[in-house]
Structure 1
Amino acid sequence: MRDIFKGFALAISMLTTVPFFKVHDFYKGINGYAVMFYPLVGFLLGVVLWGVHTLLSPYVDSVHLGIIIFGLLVLLTGALHLDGFSDTVDGLYAPKERALEVMKDSHVGGMGMIMGVTFLILKASSLAHFELFYLLPLILMLSRLNAVLAIYFYPYISPSGMGTLAKEEFTKKQMLIAFSYSLLIVLLYNKLLLLVSALLVLFVIKSVFIKRYGGFTGDIYGFSIEVNELILFNFLLFGLI
């Protein structure tokens, strides 16, 4: 039970800037549990943002409030996944044989910066015009569920890092628990098509990166989370779901 709690605390520590559960010791036994809780952390983030939106909506213009929610999302996640997005884009614009080396560089390249800013504008605009904020917990949960499924099913190609520990310790049972509680929440929302859409996005991302690199890295997990969120927002904005 202690390892389960430590895993939950580690998941919050890794995916958010919330200061109450800071755990930085990736000791054996908790990394798989941490991955199991990723979708739940996404759901809780969404609940917080939905709550803020609900409290402020009577007093703040809807467009400006959407931008506020966007800013809070960036702050609460510490731009962690945005960093992965930018690094992944830099790798895509580098020669294949140097791509992983470029992605590991702590400095953001020109294309990573340009595409990162473009992505931020698109996401801010999406949230500025988004109306279905009660679905925000579901969208953030499904985006992180995709990372969980990628960790379990697809190769991890970085030689070291937390991703290696997560891949080694994340069990089939833990994956099934994460998928089961996520599916239950989806069914409670009656939004099965949203889950199907998220899985389709994961399939496309998998097809690109398995072909190019043979697997995933921590940066690509972050990339998949960010892209999934943006696509699901816009599927809903365009009435496709």
Structure 2
Amino acid sequence: MKNFLKGFALAVSMMTSVPFFKVHDFNKGINGYAVLFYPLVGFLLGLILYGVYSLLEGHLPDLHLGIIIFALWVILTGALHLDGFSDTIDGLFVSKERALEVMKDPNTGGMGMTFTVTFLILKASSLAVFDDFYLLPVVLLLSRFNVVLAIYIFPYISKGGMGTLAKEELKSSQVFTALMYITILSISTLGLFLLSLVVLFLIKTFFVRRYGGFTGDIYGFSIEVTELVLLNAILLGIVV
């Protein structure tokens, strides 16, 4: 139970900007539990976003309220996944041999910055015209479950760090537990679940072919891309 709770605290610490849980101690035995809780943390973040939307709905213009939810979304996640998105893009504009080195560089390159700004505009625009805010918890849930699957199934090619510990400690029973609560929380949105898996498959196909596996930055890239695809699938009425 102690590792269970520490794993949850680490998941909150890693996946949000909430200061109370800033533990960042990757003690042996808790990293697999932390990964187990990634989707649940996403679901809770989504509930916060939907709660704020519900409180402000009718008091602000819809466009402005959508942008507020977008801004809060970025703030609550600490732009962690956006950083991974930006670094991943930078790695795509150099040779395979230099890509991992470029992705580790703390400085954002020109292409990473350009694509990230463009991506943020698309995400903000999606939320500005979004109506089904009650689905945000599921969107954040499923995007982070993709990372659970990526950690468990696909090769991790970076050396050291949280990713290596998570890969080593994540057990099949923990993935199964995550799948169980994912199924319960998203049971009425099977279409979104299946679409999120398609997105993961496409991302996996590209990056395993290019690099041979995933990195922490690509995990963040996967979350951001999955979120944007699911938001627009809902907007277009493709899936629910």
Tell me, in whole angstroms, the C-alpha distance in 1 between the residues paired with 2:24 and 2:110: 31
Q: Which residue of 2 aligns with 1:27?
A: 27
* CA displacement, residues 67-96 of structure 1 (integer Å, 9 cap, x when unaligned): 000000000000000000000000011111
Tell me, in whole angstroms, the C-alpha distance in 2 between the residues paired with 1:82 and 1:25: 23
Q: Which residue of 1 aligns with 2:90?
A: 90
In structure 1, give the amino acid aligned to 2:202. Answer: V
Percent identity reads 66
Q: Is the partner of 1:37 in helix, strand or coil?
A: helix
In structure 1, give the amino acid aligned to 2:32. Answer: G
Q: Which residue of 1 aligns with 2:150?
A: 150
Q: Which residue of 2 aligns with 1:105?
A: 105
Using the size of structure 1 for normalisation, the TM-score is 0.98
Q: Which residue of 1 aligns with 2:192?
A: 194
Tell me, in whole angstroms, the C-alpha distance in 2 between the residues paired with 1:141 and 1:174: 16
Q: Which residue of 1 aligns with 2:210?
A: 212
In the alignment, structure 1 residue 58 sits paired with structure 2 residue 58: yes
- Cα displacement (A) at 1:62: 0.7
- Cα displacement (A) at 1:180: 1.2
- Cα displacement (A) at 1:33: 0.2
Tell me, in whole angstroms, the C-alpha distance in 2 between the residues paired with 1:18 and 1:34: 15
- Cα displacement (A) at 1:239: 1.1
Tell me, in whole angstroms, the C-alpha distance in 2 between the residues paired with 1:24 and 1:91: 26
* CA displacement, residues 37-84 of structure 1 (integer Å, 9 cap, x when unaligned): 000000000000000000000201111100000000000000000000
Give the alignment of 1:1-241 within 5 angstroms.
1-187=1-187, 190-241=188-239
Q: Is the partner of 2:186 in helix, strand or coil?
A: helix
Q: Is the partner of 1:222 in helix, strand or coil?
A: helix
In structure 1, give the amino acid aligned to 2:55. Answer: L
Tell me, in whole angstroms, the C-alpha distance in 1 between the residues paired with 2:30 and 2:60: 42
Unaligned runs of 5+ in 2: none
Tell me, in whole angstroms, the C-alpha distance in 1 between the residues paired with 2:22 and 2:151: 22
Tell me, in whole angstroms, the C-alpha distance in 2 between the residues paired with 1:112 and 1:21: 30
- Cα displacement (A) at 1:3: 0.6
* CA displacement, residues 199-229 of structure 1 (integer Å, 9 cap, x when unaligned): 0000000000000000000000000000000
Q: Is the partner of 2:94 in helix, strand or coil?
A: coil
Tell me, in whole angstroms, the C-alpha distance in 1 between the residues paired with 2:82 and 2:19: 20
In structure 1, give the amino acid aligned to 2:181. Answer: Y
**18-27 or 3-12, which moves further after superposition?**
18-27
Using the size of structure 2 for normalisation, the TM-score is 0.99
Root-mean-square deviation (Å): 0.5
**97-106 or 18-27, which moves further after superposition?**
18-27
Tell me, in whole angstroms, the C-alpha distance in 1 between the residues paired with 2:105 and 2:208: 21
* CA displacement, residues 86-107 of structure 1 (integer Å, 9 cap, x when unaligned): 0000001111111111101000
